[in-house]
Structure 1
Amino acid sequence: MNIIEPLMTVCTDAPFELAESPLWDAQREVLWFVDIDAPALFSFHPVTRELTRFDMPSPIGCIGLTHDNRIIAGLKSGVHLFDPRTRELQFLVNPEPDRPDNRLNDGKVGPDGCFWVGSMDQNSINTTGALYRVTPNGQCTRVLDNLFVSNGLAWSPDHRTLYHTDGISAAINAYDFDPVSGEISNPRVLITLDFEQTGWPDGGTVDLEGNYWSAGIYRGRINQISPQGELLRSLQMPVIGTTMPCFGGSDGRTLFVTSLTVEVDDQEQAGTLLSCDIDIQGAPIFTFGQPAPSPSH
């Protein structure tokens, strides 16, 4: 296996309990991310190093960009729209009013302009998690059910493949995706990772060449996997609690990585935000309320 140790930058000294959902905002030139367990949304400016915190009223699992410069967020209390300028939080829909022991976890805006958000049992015991598709008018459809931890969402650059993981397994799954209707079909396993070597698959993202990048949590890895399911290389991070990678920066060639606070050999390793230069560009980010144009070939 090709293991490399890139030169990583620690972006901020502020410790995070469970940092997740990094998201590059090209218009504002900041990286957004969340701390789930100390509920907050953060923006980080890579040039000025400015870190801004926006407290949230309940655990916040994931975020996406919207067409009107707001942030769509999956909180335990449901999906909301947040305006960073006014700090107004507007409720959109609660996908799971009948599952009070769940919380929303991993989520992203898809090529269809909808917010795809998954859930999990907040006590990590039951398979009561699901994956939902939320439209701009607040309609919610359950797409997958009986999940342990819905995670790993990402789409191929041609918008035709959806990637997803369930925390009960080390498999990364792929589905055919219809970018117009949002329907998924033809479920298959892209790759099943070896926990001891690569860590457990957590959050994911995709590069412009269609490779899937998966955070290998508890082994400090970021694993690059080809569209054919081949493990191309593993990036070794200086922390073991890697939760999710994303591409960003002015040229899309900065890799950002979030992590969580974890016990390592009886020592607490604080969760942090890391970055490094990378030799490949990230795929474009989608916008809630604005279906993506078909990519040119």
Structure 2
Amino acid sequence: MRIEVLVDVKTVLGEGPLWDVEEERLYWVDSLGCNVFRAAADGREVRAWDVPAPIGSMALRRKGGAVVSLQSGFHLLDFKTGDCELIVDPEPDTPKTRLNDGKVDKRGRFACGSMDTMEEGPNGALYRLDPDLKLTKLDDGIIVSNGPCWSPDGRIFYFADTWTGEIWAYDYDLDTGSVSNRRTFTKVDTSRGGAADGATVDAEGFLWNALVYDGRLVRYAPDGSVDRIIEMPVKKVTSVMFGGPNLDILYVTSMAKPPLPRFPGDGVQRGSLFAIYDLGIRGVPEPRFAG
């Protein structure tokens, strides 16, 4: 195993690495820098787009462009023009929240949660945006939504409310997109000040989670037990995603500047996009949004 800095763009809050198997390109966002980035598997050919508000996550569309979760709601991003078209703002009367992490299920629906911007109160919720652009609330009472992903068969939905110290699992109905039977998948080790951030599931059904402020990546077995821990060169790792032509490179985002004064600083490689090679593990292809 080896860890390399792939792209050093010093993202204020790098998040949401997304490998697209059709384009063979990696996307990621700078949540507070209000940017979407794209690069080749080896970190070359970097391209960037501005968005008009803080961005939590994105998903590519089957029709082209992307759906993005901004502080001001769900939008459609046109890569050719750079324009963002509002779909819906799920929380227009709650200025202290913004949309955060999101992913697409096997049927092309976008699941995305919101967060309290001060990371204190349970003011966020979990939503599902359908291909017809209908929005449904799936859960609420959430402080910081993070780590949405599915088991390889798409029937277990994993999700973390960062400051609960837990990662949850729900039963997921692929036909309807509904969730049920929320339970604790695993308790997160918060003894070093870390908390659950972005996540992905590999082809073996193991869940990878970035422990933000702790500088570790944890691989959890399907029963919730810890299988492997990787120490990263920076503390503020934020999210993970397998990519590359063979889906065997683990891409890791990080933040250059903590969003709140109470969170720690970091070393010179802060804000970099990292690549981890030779893990001997492959990911699963990420679906595109069907809307």
Q: Normalised by the shorter chain, which TM-score bucket?
A: over 0.9
Q: TM-score with structure 1 length normalisation?
A: 0.91
Alignment of 1:72 with 2:73, yes or no, is no
3-state secondary structure, aligned to 1:153: strand
Q: Which residue of 1 aligns with 2:56?
A: 61
Q: Which residue of 2 aligns with 1:272?
A: 272
Q: Which residue of 2 aligns with 1:295?
A: none
Letter of the structure 1 residue corresponding to residue 271 of structure 2: G
Distance 2:179 2:140 in 1: 13
3-state secondary structure, aligned to 2:191: helix
- Pairwise CA RMSD: 1.8
CA contact (8 A) 1:112 1:181 kept: no
Alignment of 1:10-159 (within 5 A): 10-47=5-42, 49-159=44-154
- Could you give the per-residue CA deviations for residues 217-272 of structure 1, whole angstroms, max 9, x where no partner exists? 11111100011111000111111101000000000001000001247578676211
3-state secondary structure, aligned to 1:8: strand
CA contact (8 A) 2:20 2:285 kept: no
CA contact (8 A) 2:55 2:100 kept: yes
- What is the deviation of 1:137? 2.0
Question: How many residues of Structure 1 are paired with residues of Structure 2 in the alignment?
Answer: 285
CA contact (8 A) 1:198 1:234 kept: no
CA contact (8 A) 1:131 1:144 kept: yes
Q: Which residue of 1 aligns with 2:285?
A: 284
Distance 1:191 1:47 in 2: 33
Alignment of 1:162 with 2:157, yes or no, is yes
**Structure 1 portions without partners, runs of 5+:** 1-5, 291-297
Closer/same/farther in 2, CA of residues 183 and 217 from structure 1, 3 Å limit: same
Q: Which residue of 2 aligns with 1:234?
A: 229
- What is the deviation of 1:123? 2.2
Q: Paired residue for 1:246, among 241, 252, 255?
A: 241
Distance 1:141 1:166 in 2: 19
Distance 2:144 2:195 in 1: 12
Alignment of 1:260 with 2:261, yes or no, is no
Q: Point out the more displaced range, 147-156 or 75-84.
A: 75-84
Distance 2:190 2:182 in 1: 22
- What is the deviation of 1:199? 3.0
Letter of the structure 2 residue corresponding to residue 178 of structure 1: D
How many percent identity over aligned positions?
39
- Could you give the per-residue CA deviations for residues 13-42 of structure 1, whole angstroms, max 9, x where no partner exists? 221110001100122221101001111100
**Structure 2 portions without partners, runs of 5+:** 259-263
Distance 2:147 2:266 in 1: 29
